[in-house]
Amino acid sequence: MSSLNEQLVKYISDNGPITFRDFMESSLYDENFGYYTSKKPNKKFGYTNDYFTSPHAHPTFGLLIAIFLKNIHVLMGKKDNFTVIEHGSGDGILARDVIEFSRMINKTFGKSLNYLAIDKTPECNTFQEIKTYEAISNIRADVYLSNELIDSIPVHRFVIRASQLKEIFVDVKDGALVQKEGPVSDTEIFRRVQPFIPNLPNGYMGEVCVAYENWAREVRGLVESGIVISIDYGHNIEKLYTPERRGGLLRCYNGHNMNQNPYLNPGSQDITSHVDFSSLNEALGKVGFVKIANYSQKTFLEQLGIHNFAKDVIKKFKSNHINVKSLQENLEGILTLVEENGLGSFQIYIHSTPDLSSLLVKKLDQLTMPVKDLNCPLTSSQRDYVNFLSSPYKKSGFLPQKSWEELF
């Protein structure tokens, strides 16, 4: 039994059931025992523990994000101090790569870029200095960027019983954490789910994040005139609450394995929930942001020229600059970023403040314009990218099943 488990059992025994949202908040962010906040400086985030994100898959991800930011910089008039805030930066690998590659893409852009990485756990700055939100709250950003941040915002859970909506709470029975059903604690949960109840089977479980508006207000406070880039996995609401998803979309990750039991050693595993992009767009709209575009990650990276980097890796191999092992490692990493059933299915939403929306819609093709004649950066274990040829994912069935010619 973990210390967090004991702490939760005692609190609930003394005070009564808590919402799943509060349970998830403690599991991820408890000051002493939370999955993220209890990390020690010498314990890495990312694929070495329980999961990996796109920046760990291959350095081309950071390079392509840098190209996208360079294009925004151009459309915004090449400001001398171009400030990007990355929220939820984890170990800082994306921050490191974007800063490094920005200088390679364009010297003027590289000098102008002021890239600030922020996270709740700044002590885990493996690759780049990480700041807390409080440390940058007075700074105004030209771009606010998040990658797999929103899926970790705590959610409420619900269940359908005889066509009635019940909320799932966390209670204690015989000294163990158990689920308990009760009346809905927040009217927003009912507002979101009610239109879909007639089509949902008895016993259907799902999740609702009611914190999108708080997050959107926080972002608006940082971005007075600029762009918001949200990268995450999820669906629009009509695809979120469907009969085939009767077990919900809550996911837990531990030791590269996925499960749906959030009560398994609280604080020791990551807990996430698919993003409701319809409600997220609504929340951003309420604080004044305008949706400019959305892409799948596959389409987004292809438009920015990821296929050119795959071709460059093959060119390097054919000219004997890299060996076959390096060829395979790099192609696996690149292909993983655009795999349709994996990272390639992630969604990228672009919003802006009203003063920039007309320009960005008119110049939308320029946002994802590739930069020609760049060399493909190569993976390196010393730089902490995933080695797909020796990682747990080699035997997991996660890796792309198609060749680069088929995918591009």
CATH architecture observed for domain 40-152+210-233+274-305+347-383 = 3-Layer(aba) Sandwich (3.40)
Query: What's the pTM value of the predicted model, to 2 decimals?
Result: 0.92
Place of tokens 């007639």: 198
Q: Where in the chain is the domain with CATH 3.40.50.150?
A: 40-152+210-233+274-305+347-383
Q: What is the mean pLDDT of residues 159-173?
A: 97
Q: What is the mean pLDDT of residues 361-390?
A: 88
In whole angstroms, give the CA distance from residue 258 to residue 273. 12
Per-residue confidence (pLDDT) for residue 398, from 0 to 100: 47
Per-residue confidence (pLDDT) for residue 136, from 0 to 100: 82
Say which residue, 391 or 275, is predicted with more confidence: 275
For residue 332, give every residue at least 6 positions away whose Cβ sits within 8 Å of its Cβ, in sequence order, or none.
388, 389, 399, 400
In whole angstroms, give the CA distance from residue 351 to residue 224. 13
Residue 127, SS3 per DSSP = coil
Widest CA span in the chain: 69
pLDDT band (50, 70, 90) for residue 236:
very high
In whole angstroms, give the CA distance from residue 319 to residue 311. 12
Q: What is the mean pLDDT of residues 298-319?
A: 96
Per-residue confidence (pLDDT) for residue 98, from 0 to 100: 97
Place of tokens 């269940």: 159
pLDDT band (50, 70, 90) for residue 393:
low
Chain segment 175-184, per-residue pLDDT in tens: 999 999 999 9
Per-residue confidence (pLDDT) for residue 394, from 0 to 100: 54
> To the nearest whole percent, how much of the chain has pLDDT over 90?
79
Q: What is the mean pLDDT of residues 399-406?
A: 52
Mean pLDDT of the chain: 90
Say which residue, 405 or 307, is predicted with more confidence: 307
Per-residue confidence (pLDDT) for residue 390, from 0 to 100: 73
pLDDT band (50, 70, 90) for residue 363:
very high
Please say if the pLDDT value at position 401 is more than 60: no
Per-residue confidence (pLDDT) for residue 130, from 0 to 100: 79
Q: What is the mean pLDDT of residues 305-310?
A: 96
Chain segment 129-152, per-residue pLDDT in tens: 778 778 888 899 999 999 999 999
Please say if the pLDDT value at position 40 is more than 60: no
The first and second tokens of residue 53, run together, are 């994100």
pLDDT band (50, 70, 90) for residue 1:
very low
Q: What is the mean pLDDT of residues 11-37?
A: 95
pLDDT band (50, 70, 90) for residue 37:
confident
In whole angstroms, give the CA distance from residue 402 to residue 241. 31
Q: What is the mean pLDDT of residues 342-356?
A: 97
Please say if the pLDDT value at position 219 is more than 70: yes
* Phi (first) and psi of residue 169, to 5 degrees: -105, 170
